[in-house]
């Protein structure tokens, strides 16, 4: 690379060329609004307004309350899962960690005589250890996260079912089960579980969008080898993200247990698919390197609104799953379609520019 010389500098008679970046060449409002994340937010608004006006009993005072109670585990786990998927990895074991955490909370409280806070703390720590095991195998051993977490999905669920069998632990103190279902303000539609979720959302937003660690997460998703050469500790970043996912899944397991007042080995079976659906529906690329948390939150709430409205319409669970599955497929395939359409439009613009240049030079 040659050093710039005086002859390379623009003279006063030459038009000064301005450096532009394609991503920032559009106005701010277009960059903010014409995104997949905003499209999900807009779709959420449309579906909510339609349900509010057309679905019987959807405008009742209990709808939002139970909607947030139901989707709280999805909202919680979707935060770390977003960061894991942005790095290009995936964690399919989170629902099994929820089940294991639920069983531990019940066994430690009933059989070992521990108080609920201590049993919950142990359950969260065990969740973090489960995530650390996943992270070690993925980040330091170099195994694919899909294979690792499929294996630990079965392992953690097997431990949970093995500890309790087909029985369930019930009879938790009323003050703790009531706390899991308590409202922030008496008579409002906002359950107390939204408080820890909002704290987690603030922390994850800062970590992903406003910290050096978060920039490293995106770099890993775009190209982990290039991220390594720019100074990002790829292995350690992935390791801590899996620990984060495991610990939050452990907390979700404690909430799940207290909300339903029952600790079972099969609690939250299949929850991982709803979490991943919310993340991908919210605009996070399954290939990594792209995504934002506001889209993920909108995706999770959208799934909750659709499920709640269809249940009120007496639709079956199978039909609800079909609708959410179709939305997920459209969301994933829309990325490739938009990239194809964008490339086609850019090619046509370049062709028109080339034609104008030839016409003016001729």
Lowest-pLDDT choice from 66-80, 87-101, 114-128, 340-354: 340-354
* Cβ atoms of residues 120 and 128 within 8 Å: no
Please identify which residue in the block is written with the tokens 């390791």: 239
Flag whether pLDDT at 361 surpasses 70.
no
Flag whether pLDDT at 24 surpasses 80.
no
* Cβ atoms of residues 68 and 220 within 8 Å: no
pLDDT given at position 345: 73
Lowest-pLDDT choice from 144-153, 287-296, 316-325: 316-325
* Cβ atoms of residues 315 and 90 within 8 Å: no
* Cβ atoms of residues 78 and 278 within 8 Å: yes
Q: Model confidence at 347, in pLDDT bands (50, 70, 90)?
A: confident
Flag whether pLDDT at 8 surpasses 80.
no
- Structure-block tokens of residue 19: 């450096």
Nearest to residue 216, comparing CAs of 197, 198, 229, 200?
229
Q: CA 322, CA 121: separation in Å to the nearest integer?
A: 37
pLDDT given at position 15: 47
Where do the domains of the chain lie, and which CATH numbers do they carry?
A: 35-333 (1.10.3470)
| Through-space distance between the first and last CA atoms of the chain, rounded to whole angstroms | 34
The three state secondary structure string of the chain is CCCCCHHHCCCCCCCCCCCCCHHHCCCHHHHHHCCHHHHHHHHHHHHHHHHHHHCCCCCCCCHHHHHHHHHHHHHHHHHHHHHHHHCCCCCCCHHHHHHHHHHHHHHHHHCCCCCHHHHHHHHHHHHHHHHHHHHHHHHHCCCCHHHHHHHHHHHHHHHHHHHHCCCCECCCCHHHHHHHHCECCCCCCCECCHHHHHHHHHHHHHHHHCCHHHHHHHHHHHCHHHHHHCCCCHHHHHHHHHHHHHHHHHHHHHHHHHHHCCECCCCCCCHHHHHHHHHHHCCCCCCCCCCCHHHHHHHHHHHHHHHHHHHHCCCCHHHHHHHHHHHHHHHHHHHHHHHHHHHHHHHHHHHHHHHHHHHHHC
Compute the radius of gyration of the chain from its Cα atoms.
Answer: 24
311 φ, ψ (degrees, to nearest 5): -65, -40
Q: CA 291, CA 179: separation in Å to the nearest integer?
A: 33
pLDDT given at position 27: 65
Q: Model confidence at 275, in pLDDT bands (50, 70, 90)?
A: very high
Mean pLDDT of 177-186: 91
Flag whether pLDDT at 100 surpasses 90.
yes
pTM: 0.84
Flag whether pLDDT at 5 surpasses 80.
no
Mean pLDDT of 334-361: 72
């Amino acid at each position: 690379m040659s050093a710039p010389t005086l002859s390379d500098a623009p003279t006063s008679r030459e038009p000064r060329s301005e450096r532009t970046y394609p991503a920032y060449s559009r106005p701010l409002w277009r960059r903010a609004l014409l995104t997949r994340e905003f499209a999900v937010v807009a779709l959420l608004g449309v579906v909510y307004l339609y349900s509010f006006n057309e679905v019987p009993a959807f405008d009742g005072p209990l709808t939002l309350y139970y909607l947030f109670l139901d989707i709280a585990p999805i909202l919680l786990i979707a935060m770390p899962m977003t960061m894991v998927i942005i790095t290009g990895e995936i964690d399919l074991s989170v629902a099994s960690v929820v089940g294991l955490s639920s069983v531990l909370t019940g066994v430690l409280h009933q059989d070992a005589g521990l108080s609920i806070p201590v049993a919950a703390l142990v359950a969260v720590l065990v969740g973090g250890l489960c995530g650390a095991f996943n992270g070690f195998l993925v980040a330091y051993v170099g195994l694919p996260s899909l294979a690792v977490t499929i294996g630990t999905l079965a392992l953690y669920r097997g431990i949970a079912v093995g500890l309790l069998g087909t029985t369930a632990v019930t009879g938790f103190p009323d003050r703790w089960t009531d706390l899991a279902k308590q409202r922030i303000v008496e008579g409002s539609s906002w359950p107390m579980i939204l408080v820890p979720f909002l704290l987690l959302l603030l922390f994850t937003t800062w970590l992903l969008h406003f910290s050096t660690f978060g920039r490293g997460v995106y770099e890993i998703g775009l190209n982990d080898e290039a991220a390594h050469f720019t100074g990002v500790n790829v292995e350690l970043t992935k390791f801590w993200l899996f620990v984060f996912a495991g610990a939050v899944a452990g907390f979700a397991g404690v909430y799940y247990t207290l909300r339903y007042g029952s600790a079972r080995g099969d609690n939250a079976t299949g929850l991982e698919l709803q979490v991943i659906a919310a993340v991908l529906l919210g605009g996070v690329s399954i290939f990594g390197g792209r995504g934002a948390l506001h889209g993920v939150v909108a995706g999770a709430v959208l799934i909750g609104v659709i499920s709640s409205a269809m249940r009120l319409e007496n639709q079956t669970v199978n039909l609800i799953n079909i609708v959410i599955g179709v939305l997920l497929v459209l969301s994933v395939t829309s990325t490739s379609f938009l990239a194809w359409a964008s490339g086609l439009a850019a090619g046509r613009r370049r062709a028109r520019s080339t034609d104008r240049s030839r016409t003016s030079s001729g």
